[in-house]
């Protein structure tokens, strides 16, 4: 079943959204992330993408209390990212209730460590973050382009055992101008056994329909929900 995975992005304990990963383009939607998480769960949502934006900037988990609070007060399956840069960080995230960890910058900057986590925790628990700008991997909160072709990058990690990837087209993120269907179409065609999770640009139910038609694993939806472009009721009627 095509998975609709809402995103909660955290800065200073608040639920926010950025535009194209730009911290100066921050909008606070709610000061109580648990309230939002419970709203998702009540609507029939099973999975949550929780991002510690302070952690991404600080290069260590910063908003662990938010993770703990949501994990202990809901049954949502949380995939957590942002600032997971060390063995201590990943242990803390799992101990605090994360079911999966998404590695982004670390997959480029310290691939040996990330590969070690993949071997230790297994490919159900570790998600590859393959965020791209112009089909090149973007790292460090999308502030740096690595120059690595996204398809080569993904192929390399599949060979090491990766099963899930979240791929955000940075150029689309937060703009509500539609997702990068071509990117996901190519990824699905090249790597049919990979569980591809699309992210960035969703602005309507039609976008969700278009992504579902690609037979990918799921999609992360953020601003479209918070801005009322798609409602949880509509999502529930179509996908649950």
Q: What is the pLDDT of residue 175?
A: 74
pLDDT of 87: 97
The pLDDT, as a whole number, for residue 143 is 54
Output the DSSP codes for the chain.
Answer: -PEEEEEEEEETTEEEEEETTEEEEEEEEES-HHHHHHHHHHTT--EEEEEEHHHHHHTS---HHHHHHHHHH---EEEEESS--SHHHHHHHHHTT-SEEEESTHHHH-HHHHHHHHHHH-TTTEEEE--EETTEEEETTTTEEEEEEHHHHHHHHHHTT--EEEEEBTTTTTS-S---HHHHHHHHHH-TTSEEEEES---SHHHHHHHHTTT-SEEEE-HHHHTTSS-HHHHHHHH-
The residues annotated with a catalytic role in the active site are 9, 131
- pTM comes to 0.94
Q: Which residue ranges of the chain lie beneath pLDDT 70?
A: 140-146, 174
Looking at residue 170, its pLDDT comes to 83
pLDDT of residue 54: 95
Domains of the chain, with CATH numbers? 3-239 (3.20.20.70)
Q: What is the pLDDT of residue 142?
A: 53
């Amino acid at each position: 079943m095509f998975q609709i995975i809402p995103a909660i992005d955290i800065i200073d304990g608040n639920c926010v959204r950025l535009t194209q990963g730009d911290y100066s383009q921050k909008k606070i939607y709610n000061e109580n992330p648990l309230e939002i998480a419970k709203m998702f769960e009540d609507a029939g949502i099973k999975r949550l993408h929780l991002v510690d934006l302070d952690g991404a900037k600080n290069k260590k988990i910063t908003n662990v209390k938010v993770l703990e609070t949501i994990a202990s007060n809901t049954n949502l399956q949380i995939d957590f990212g942002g600032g997971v840069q060390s063995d201590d960080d990943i242990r803390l995230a799992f101990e605090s209730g994360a079911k999966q960890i998404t590695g982004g910058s670390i997959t480029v900057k310290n691939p040996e460590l990330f590969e070690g986590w993949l071997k230790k925790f297994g490919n159900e628990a570790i998600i590859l973050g393959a965020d791209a700008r112009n089909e090149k991997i973007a790292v460090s909160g999308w502030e740096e382009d690595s120059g690595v072709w996204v398809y080569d990058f993904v192929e390399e990690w599949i060979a090491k055992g990766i099963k899930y990837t979240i791929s955000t087209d940075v150029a689309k993120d937060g703009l509500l101008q539609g997702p990068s269907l071509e990117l996901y179409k190519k990824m699905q065609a090249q790597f049919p056994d990979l569980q591809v999770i699309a992210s960035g640009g969703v602005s309507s139910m039609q976008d969700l329909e278009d992504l579902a038609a690609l037979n990918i694993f799921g999609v992360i939806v953020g601003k479209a929900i918070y801005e009322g472009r798609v409602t949880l009721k509509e999502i529930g009627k179509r996908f649950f």
